[in-house]
A and B are shown apart, each in its own frame.
Chain A
Amino acid sequence: MSLFDLRLSDVHNRLHHKEISVADLVEESLKRIGETDGKIEAFLAVDEEGARKQAAKLDSSGEERGLLFGLPAGIKDNIVTEGLRTTCASRFLANYDPIYDATVIQKLRQAQSVTMGKLNMDEFAMGGSNENSAFHPTRNPWDLERVPGGSSGGSAASVAAGQVYFSLGSDTGGSIRQPAAYCGIVGLKPTYGLVSRYGLVAFASSLDQIGPLTKNVEDAAYVLQAIAGHDSRDSTSANVDIPDYVSALTGDVKGLRIGVPKEYMGQGIDPQVKERVLEALRTFEAMGAVWEEISLPHSEYAVASYYLLASSEASSNLARFDGVRYGVRAEDPANLLDLYRRSRSEGFGTEVKRRIMLGTYALSSGYYDAYYKKAQQVRTLIKRDFDQAFEKYDLIVSPTVPTTAFKIGEQVNDPLTMYLNDICTIPVNLAGVPAISVPCGLADGLPVGLQLIGKPFDERTVLRAAHAFEGQTEHHKLRPAL
């Protein structure tokens, strides 16, 4: 059994009694990366030297032990790490070495985890398969012919393969939860504003949120505890009290009221995926929770609204990549305009250009009201659907993704089909509410994810319910034979 299969409290007990050292944990991570990364290619960069140094420092320190003391972590490559190359899996940033740490990285340092390196993703977090990485695709540890999901595909595959104890990802339309579902692990997207975005390379600023990917719900609660909190450097950071997430994990869901949106269980949902979700609902019933079918009537408009809004925000955010201050500059530009155009055209991949074009068009003179404003109004209607549902229910439950992981190359040429994979995850970002994906079994040998959606800033209920479900099932203990 791997050290990474131990509960966090067990790891800390062993460290405390000097049965193991932080160096052992780091060596375990490096060994596993060495054994498996040739197959799954989750990492873009492994910081072997930095991790060993940090392990030695932690082993010799007499400091009070942080919440995540000694745990090897992988970081999605759109979260900036001082001195450690951060590329967003884009050729544009192939040479970019950040000169500061993201707030979440500073918080991980306080919690005393060990950063093992940077994880692959779809370029600038645009995509759901990691096939849009400019460097190489990551493969699903459960089936190397299949995608790990995305955009945090490296983050999910790495945890599933036992390379790291936990990882951080980012979620704009499902980018933590969908790969977590495809790789059979836990992925949490916190409420918008709970975790600082300072140092997260922006894709769609009103939707992006950083969160943990872990092997179980308890670990997710610990990592969230470490990274949540107000940050004056992120003006969209919420100034709320951070509760104790771990103490929410009581195992008790008696009387919990669950709504199951019929729009998330209908057309396009694989029958086996639906069956796993219904089994999960029976498990909740057996624990004393109650569920009934509800309607979120504007669900079918979420994908269209999202792609207009996210692309519009992206077209604005990615204007900063101009080849002037950092990144890869085109050779021998004729003038400044030529420098902008060629640096961007040579640096960005197909999907990134497609979204910049869509967003620029939606924001351009004459089309703003028809597309951008209309999409924002529909966002209001979608958010109201959730507000109304949460007047009556504590939690909304659905599949995380309509299907299991698809084959590499199967969908890459069809942007619309690819976008429809996100039908259950996108509304959550538009409404800004928290949601977790937890394993709820297999379909034809591939993991299925169960999504639990909560009220704004009510991560405690989301984690409590997810943890109680996990306690009644064995799904999260399944590991890919890699």
Chain B
Amino acid sequence: MSITVKDVEHVANLARLELAEAEKERLAVELNAILKYAEKLNELDTEGVEPTSHVLPLYNVMREDEVRESLPLDKVMANAPEEEDGHIKVPAVLD
């Protein structure tokens, strides 16, 4: 399995990254090298082995569904690149 520049473009699109041509070529080489190294894992037979996503025996952590204080709107908006009337402003979703 080898990653091509076309694959890099596909993944970059999924990750919402815009890459220059030179960057795409470099990443194809680097990702191939890293994934080749990762193929080492195939030396191990993991048939029937439970995957570990988390080391603690925690599952759904519930709390009471009660109203709590939210972050103050003016402070939240202070970090927003663009705001209007208490809303964060973005360009049109569709052209």
Asked if A and B are interacting partners, one says yes
Kindly identify, within residues 28 to 66 of chain B, every residue whose CB is under 8 Å from any CB belonging to chain A: 30-31, 33-35, 37-38, 40-44, 46, 49-56, 58, 61, 63
Q: How far is the CB of B40 from chain A (nearest CB, A)?
A: 5
Known A192-B56, A336-B90; judge A97-B34 contact (CB<8 A): no
Report how far A236 CA is from B79 CA in the complex, Å.
27
Kindly identify, within residues 315 to 337 of chain A, every residue whose CB is under 8 Å from any CB belonging to chain B: 315, 319, 322-329, 333-337
Report how far A371 CA is from B1 CA in the complex, Å.
12
Q: Pick the contact of A341: B17, B90, B93 (CB < 8 A).
A: B17
Q: How far is the CB of A187 from chain B (nearest CB, A)?
A: 20
The answer to the question of A345 belonging to the interface, with a C-beta cut-off of 8 Å to chain B, is: yes
Q: How far is the CB of B41 from chain A (nearest CB, A)?
A: 5
Interface centre among A326, A328, A329 (most CB of B within 10 A): A326
Kindly identify, within residues 76 to 95 of chain B, every residue whose CB is under 8 Å from any CB belonging to chain A: 76, 78-82, 88, 90-95
Report how far A155 CA is from B94 CA in the complex, Å.
45
Report how far A192 CA is from B52 CA in the complex, Å.
14
Closest to A382 in B: B52
Are A298 and B90 in touch, CB under 8 angstroms?
A: no
Tally B residues with Cβ within 8 Å of A: 53
Known A375-B41, A376-B53; judge A341-B18 contact (CB<8 A): yes
Report how far A308 CA is from B35 CA in the complex, Å.
9
The answer to the question of A472 belonging to the interface, with a C-beta cut-off of 8 Å to chain B, is: no
The answer to the question of B71 belonging to the interface, with a C-beta cut-off of 8 Å to chain A, is: yes
Kindly identify, within residues 264 to 313 of chain A, every residue whose CB is under 8 Å from any CB belonging to chain B: 298, 300-301, 303-305, 307-308
Known A357-B12, A361-B3; judge A99-B75 contact (CB<8 A): yes
Chain A residues, CB < 8 A from B95? 334-335
Q: Mark B1-16, 1 if CB is under 8 A from A, else 0.
A: 0010001100110111
Chain A residues, CB < 8 A from B37? 303-304, 416
A-B complex: 7 closest residue pairs judged by Cβ atoms:
A432-B55, A376-B51, A329-B81, A377-B46, A326-B79, A235-B61, A341-B18
Q: Which residues of B contact A (CB under 8 A)?
A: 3, 7-8, 11-12, 14-19, 23, 27, 30-31, 33-35, 37-38, 40-44, 46, 49-56, 58, 61, 63, 71-72, 75-76, 78-82, 88, 90-95
